[in-house]
Amino acid sequence: MTIMKRGATYHLRKRVPLRYKRVEPREIVGISLHTDSLSAAKVKADVAWQHMVEAWEARLAGDTSDAERRFEAARELAAVRGFRFLPAADVAKLPTEELLARVEAVPERRGQPDKREAAAVLGGASEPAITVSRALELYWGLAADRSRGKSEDQLRRWKNPRKKAVANFVAVVGDKVISEISGDDMLAFRDWWLEKLESDGLTPNSANKDLIHLGDVLKTVNRMKRLGLVLPLTDLSLKEGEAAQRPPFSTSWIKSRLLAPGALAGLNTEARCILLGMINTGARPSELQALTASRIVLKGRVPHISIEPEGRQLKSAYAKRVIPLAGVSLEAFKECPEGFPRYVDNPSLSATVNKYLRTNGLMESPKHVLYSLRHSFEDRMLAAGVDDRIRRDLFGHRLTRERYGLGANLGQLAKEIAKIAI
């Protein structure tokens, strides 16, 4: 390290270490120590050199394909130069004196401003758009300390619930940039779980695990990548008993509100047809989503749908059944005779429909959801005096006594549904 005087000011002159050749084209650097006192220059030299090394380290860290790491490096480089990193739009709003100080702090390389330094000090570095799926990829590395020492099986059991939680969220809400996740998105995910608990007979613990694992991934990435986001992850857990049976839509509400002219016009065709298909079949949304053209029979004496374990498992052996079509449900299947390819293996249906109904004032109460149409169908059958065996056969429920005979045929089922069809 050489300290030499140029004019009235001392400068530090030193060779650039080989480690930084990739980010520093000069072989020897000269740094002004801004003093005419040799003793002061000797004190300041070590600090000035340390700052230079820190800047090189930050630039070296930014020379990577990892977009998140490049952004962190830009923030570190700005800090080394004595500034807080700000986006370019905010830098432009600074008082003139502060703005000029940043401009003057950008060193030149061969007569041109250093692009990496300018991006850091003047806010040109772009904040990376980390999606939920990308967050999971980053999470494995950021949380490596938690998996250290685990066996292969333990590692699998640690990873799988987090993969499942992220996959469920992406399927319901979409692979959003995590900075754009809203409270409404999280409530939509929670609503989807509420319906799933009821339809699949699960406990709130299943939903809470998903919410915990998803939150762990997002919060870890937010913290370790220093993104500084305020994520809407609080007050989401379900309490025991919260997944209680949802109230049914009343017949009057279905007729006057859901079936009012244009009420469902804003829903995409497949989602609208599934909703209408539920009204007079009582089928689970997931059962209708999986129907293929071969399982939708519109020709013949009794139009019907056939719920089969085709490409998927049914909830139980009793769920395999045929359901006659009538009223608005028949018209819906005439509009979607090929099934619902948009929603096959896509759990976003309920979130889409529930959000639309709430936004448009079509929910009969805050506790109503799409699944409430299934309860409405059963209530109408009960009020019409439909036999318990027939109700259970149409719903795909187990009979509470020994099952004798084949049960009602398709024609008999059609007559019972005709009594309650809307």
Q: What is the pTM of this model?
A: 0.55
Mean pLDDT calculated for residue range 210-218: 95
DSSP 242: T
Q: Which two tokens stand for residue 234?
A: 């609080």
3-state secondary structure 176-238: CEHHHCCHHHHHHHHHHHHHHHHHHCCCHHHHHHHHHHHHHHHHHHHHHCCCCCCCCCCCCCC
Reported as a single tens digit per residue, the pLDDT across 280-337 is 999 988 889 889 999 999 988 999 999 887 766 566 666 788 999 999 999 999 999 9
Domain ranges for the chain: 2-121, 132-224, 251-420
Reported as a single tens digit per residue, the pLDDT across 21-36 is 776 777 887 877 778 8
User: What are the residues facing 34 on neighbouring strands?
Assistant: none
H or E stretch at 71: helix 67-80
Q: Which CATH class is domain 251-420?
A: mainly alpha
Min mean pLDDT across 19-28, 49-58, 188-197 is at: 49-58
